[in-house]
Amino acid sequence: MSVRVRVAPSPTGAPHLGILRTALFDFLCARHHRGTMILRIEDTDRNRFVPGCEEEIMASLRWLGIDWDEGPDVGGPFGPYRQSERKEAGIYAIWVQKLLDEGYAYWAFDTPEELEEMREYQQVNRQPVGYFGGTWRDASGAQVEAARASGKPGVIRLKMPRGRLLVCDDLVRGRVEFDSDTVDDPVLIKADGMPTYHFAAMVDDHLMEITHIIRGVEWISSAPKHVWLFEAFGWTPPQFVHVQVINGPDGKKLSKRHGDTRVFDFKYAGFLPEALANFVALIGWAPGGDREIMSMDELVEAFELDGLQPSPGVFDIEKLRWMNGHYLRGLSGESLLEKVGAYSGDPDVRAFWARDEHAALPTGPALADLSRALTLDPALAEEAFVLVRERVVTLADFGEACDFVFVDRPVMDPAAVGKWLTVPHARRLFECLAADLVSPEDAISVEACERLVRSFAEGHGIDKLGPVVHPVRVALTGRTVGPGLFELMSVLGRRRMIERFENALRLLP
């Protein structure tokens, strides 16, 4: 049997980490087994439908490296792949009528007031809350016809069995049993004629020949309804795979304060899709061994559903940052230039950093300056990116990390100036280095830069390099920390260093 999996998002809001992880597990499962990946848009909730959301879902998945074999944009033999279109095609009407005809479903015409009264009664009497039949579960055909003829709005509900044990064989949790007497009768078709998730998703999973339903553990309480629906139709259910929730490092359910945000916000924050995919795949799934850094191909090769964990996964933004830094350091200078250039020039990135919660940060202006500098001297930019990449973890960090390279005069940290430009030998140091750097050739090697600094220290009886290195760094960058001094000197070149030493001399008392 060929594996067929589906990711089935609802276009009711921007995609977040939950749908991203489910889609990634679906993708890895399909590719590992050389099966089929399906994208199905479950857009039956028209009240919550958000225009443009479907497009963002597709773009987010593709940015992460996830593609699909069948879907609304690529077609396939089991279309349409939007549930609203499947409803208009009459697909659901056929199957709900079958349930009605065979007594597995029924019309119910309860008013909102009657339903609220029912819930209040159940709560007061500490009964299971839900619809367990009311007036309509065993109503006669004449009662139903009279209600419909009068124009009374109604829904179609699934008639759950009573006195039964319903079993869901879940790949992660094993056998899960439910007392059918505690399971309410779910709505299959709403009053507006649209199918609910309970009905449309299960019908589509059967008709599209889905072999594995991978979804969040929050759906396990609905499993008995879905198991019974498959039994009522006489269908063999797919393999259910309920993946655990994602928690923050504090053990609480993931929220925005932990870093749970829309997928594209990770892109705008400067994370690479390869790093995010690697990181998300390991939340709740273990590849075996101590592997952490894995390419998409390696994830596909290693992925097995039995590696899914029964305990909640943990989203740790610091681990993601570490992983992203690892991927950045693996890029060539040419790739860094391309990625940082595209990132810093992206208007959506600029809009992200201009949001109220980011407006006070220097990241946005630094990226704007970086984008302008890239157009003026891309060769220098590439050298600068390679120089600082050991000290950055996101694409956004390059703006601030490199800002001293492209300006005529770097912003001087007063504390750094007060500590290192006041040493007794500062004036002589800057004068000597500026004089030694004079040459028709602007380029200078790392080794030559080191010789200049060491020569001054030896010639002036300074045993340790620190008292020389620190003033030079402050004069050239305005900071006390940064990349290797001799490497950054080489990147700056003779002309820039001379100008900065002359500027530093003007700051001396």
Domains of the chain: 4-85+246-314 (3.40.50.620), 90-243 (3.40.50.620), 332-398 (no CATH), 414-507 (1.10.10.350)
Nearest alpha-carbon partner for 214 in 9, 475, 425: 9
Q: Please state which of the ranges 70-74, 128-132, 455-459 shows the lowest mean pLDDT.
A: 128-132
Mean pLDDT of the chain: 94
Residues 198 and 263: their CA atoms lie apart, in Å, by: 27
User: 359 pLDDT band (50/70/90 cuts)?
Assistant: confident
- Mean pLDDT of the region 103-114: 95
Residue-level pLDDT at 29: 98
Write down the pLDDT at residue 260: 62
Pick from 59, 19, 67: which is nearest to 42 by CA? 19
For tokens 């619809």, the residue is 131
Residues 6 or more apart whose CB falls under 8 angstroms from that of 294 comprise 278, 281, 287, 302
Cross-strand bridge partners of residue 285: 308
The b/e string for 437-474 (b: 16+ C-beta within 10 A; e otherwise) is beeeeeebeeebbbebbeebbeeeebeeeebbbbbbbb
Q: Is the pLDDT of residue 401 over 70?
A: yes
User: How far apart, in whole angstroms, are the C-alpha atoms of residue 245 and residue 336?
Assistant: 35
Residue 21 scores a pLDDT above 90: yes
Query: Phi, psi (5° rounding) for residue 473?
Result: -60, -45
Over the stretch 175-205, which tens digit does the pLDDT of each residue have? 999 999 999 999 999 999 999 999 999 999 9
pLDDT of residue 290: 84
In the prediction, which pLDDT does 128 show?
87
pLDDT at 496 over 90: yes
pLDDT exceeds 90 at position 288? no
The pLDDT of residue 240 = 97
Closest CA relative to residue 153, chosen from 183, 112, 120: 112
457, 496 in Cβ contact below 8 A? no
Report the percentage of the chain scoring pLDDT > 90. 88
pLDDT computed for residue 308 by the predictor: 95
pLDDT single digits (tens) 256-280: 666 667 899 999 999 999 999 999 9
- For residue 417, pLDDT beyond 90: yes
pLDDT of 376 higher than 70: yes
Q: Distance (Å, rounded) from C-alpha 200 to C-alpha 86?
A: 9
Q: Residue 253 — pLDDT band, cuts 50, 70, 90?
A: confident
What's the average model confidence in pLDDT over 454-469?
95
Q: What is the mean pLDDT of residues 225-248?
A: 95
Q: Give the three-state DSSP class for 112.
A: helix
In the prediction, which pLDDT does 261 show?
76
How far is the C-alpha of 277 from the C-alpha of 244, rounded, in Å?
18
Which active-site residues does the annotation give? Answer: 256
Residue 57 has pLDDT above 70, yes or no: yes
Q: Are 39 and 58 in contact (CB under 8 A)?
A: yes
* pLDDT of 86: 97
Residue 113 pLDDT > 90: yes
Report how far residue 71's alpha carbon sits from residue 177's, in angstroms, rounded to the nearest whole number: 34
pLDDT at 247: 87
Quick check: 504 pLDDT over 80? Answer: yes
**Exposed / middle / buried, residue 284 (Cβ in 10 Å: 0-12, 13-18, 19+):** buried
307: Cβ–Cβ under 8 A, 6 or more apart, which residues? 285, 286, 287, 288
| pLDDT score recorded for residue 302 | 97
Task: State how far the Cα of 306 lies from the Cα of 127, in Å rounded to an integer.
Answer: 38
pLDDT exceeds cutoff 90 at 90: yes
**Phi/psi class of residue 157: alpha, beta or left (left: φ > 0; alpha: ψ in -120 to 50)?**
beta
* pLDDT for res 378: 94
Burial of 365 (0-12, 13-18, 19+ CB in 10 A): middle
